[in-house]
Amino acid sequence: MTIDEMKEKLRQTISPERFRHSEEVMNEAVKLAGLYNADVEKARIAGLLHDCAKSTGKDELYEELEKYHVVLDDIQKKTPVLLHSILGSFYAKEHYGVEDREILDAIYWHTTGKAGMTMLEKIIFIADYIESGRNFEGVEEARKLAYTDIEKCIVLCCNSTIRYILQKGRLLHPYIIEARNDALMRIEAGS
């Protein structure tokens, strides 16, 4: 499937606002991949498709994930917002013909991040935060850091989400804490 065919298919399955967001994330991901020597075409596809399962309803999410034999941990089971990225990686393969493991993994991890992300995973994770439609405290700083210090950008984005989750009193998945710690340790190690 060509990128234009993917766009058309995606446009039909998600809201106009989500489609706009997807295109913006794609554009950011392409720019970041150029800067950080990641594969630009993989970044383009992963950015475009990262939210391809976002319009799946809550009940359907669980049914679909069961269909793919996904085993969820206790926090994932109780936090549906974490699941569209997991299902998205399966949809990208089944509905958009994406076979590339790096692209599928970047989609899979885009919501929580994790320790030891690949550059493509980092790029999709932060592109999702910094696209022009986003608005959160520190977003301008995040946009700057994305292009100057990607690890600091990851810390800032994780902090913002963790703060929000704490404020709302919701369950906090350890993956995002691990993503933050990993980035912080990389900054301290000077890498």
Q: Are 117 and 133 in contact (CB under 8 A)?
A: no
Residue 51 or residue 151: which is nearer to Fe ion going by CB? 51
**Tally of CB atoms within 10 A around 137:** 11
Span from 48-56, 73-81, 100-108, 116-124 in contact with Fe ion (CB under 5 A): 48-56
Asked if 131 interacts with Fe ion (CB under 5 A), we say: no
Residue 128 sits in the site that holds Fe ion (CB under 5 A)? yes
- When the beta carbons of 28 and 51 are compared against Fe ion, the nearer one is 51
Burial of 128 from C-beta contacts in 10 A (0-12 / 13-18 / 19+)? buried
Binding of Fe ion by 51 (CB under 5 A): yes
Nearer to Fe ion, 51 or 105 (CB): 51
Q: Which stretch binds Fe ion (CB under 5 A): 67-75, 98-106, 121-129, 145-153?
A: 121-129
Q: Which stretch binds Fe ion (CB under 5 A): 3-11, 26-34, 45-53, 61-69?
A: 45-53
* CB distance 129 to 110 below 8 Å: no
Binding status of residue 121 toward Fe ion by CB under 5 A: no
Q: Which of 106, 116, 111 is nearest to 186 (CA)?
A: 116
Shortest Å, Cβ 190 to Fe ion? 31
Q: How many angstroms separate the CA atoms of 89 and 91, rounded?
A: 6
Asked if 161 and 144 touch (Cβ cutoff 8 Å), the reply is no
Q: By CB under 5 A, name the binding residues for Fe ion.
A: 51, 128
